[in-house]
Amino acid sequence: RCVQETGQDTGLSAISTGDELRKIVKGTSSFSYPKDLVDTIKETMLAGKLVSDHILLDIIRSQVQDPSITKGVVFDGFPRTTNQLNLYKEHFPVHLVINCLLKEDILIEKLLGRRVCENCSANYNVCGILRDGYDMEPLSSKKEGVCDKCGGKLVSRQDDTEETIKARLREYETKTCLLYTSDAADDLLCVDLGGRRIIKKK
């Protein structure tokens, strides 16, 4: 939701790679993909692992080349590895990287509270947190369990279990964290939000 609001404020097109991957699995993407690719993506996501860099870049390339995109793009969840950043930079410019940081227990609690509309994929969150310096209100629907946008049923994502979330966090620590100190980020402005650091590499 934060990325979507940033897109609205700046006139940039907001693209969530996670949302697109879930649409591919559900068969609701505006692009068509082979069944074996869909099965591979589904198996990978349920295991809490990252989809291969080349598959993800192909998906990104299709979206970025959409004629409706005229001013630029703000990504949610991409790039997540140094290789993804290098592959992307071969085709498109990158101007700013923002890394939003939360304490692990807070992040797990918020993700377990996430709810998604079965019909339109709108995001909500039933978890409110007011402790340890965090003041995060729930992002609730007006009617419990019902999407404000289309009236669809709100459900927990299949991969939002504590076990899978922790597996995703380990993937983040071993792959994504390395991105910000890698040579691939040397020409970028990288900003961490959450109390750790600000890295200026430009």
Q: Tell me how far apart the alpha carbons of residues 76 and 99 are, in angstroms, rounded to a whole number.
A: 10
For residue 183, how far is the Cα from the chain centroid? 23
pLDDT 10s digit of each residue in the chain, 202 long? Answer: 566 666 566 778 888 888 888 888 888 888 888 888 889 998 888 787 878 888 888 888 888 877 888 788 888 878 888 888 888 888 888 877 777 778 899 999 999 999 999 998 899 999 999 998 888 899 999 999 999 999 999 999 888 999 999 998 898 888 888 777 777 667 666 666 664 444 444 4
Q: Tell me how far apart the alpha carbons of residues 52 and 79 are, in angstroms, rounded to a whole number.
A: 12
Report the run of H or E that residue 155 belongs to, with start and end.
strand 154-155
- 56-to-21, 62, 66, 85 alpha-carbon distances in Å: 9, 10, 16, 11
pTM: 0.65
Q: Tell me how far apart the alpha carbons of residues 57 and 189 are, in angstroms, rounded to a whole number.
A: 22
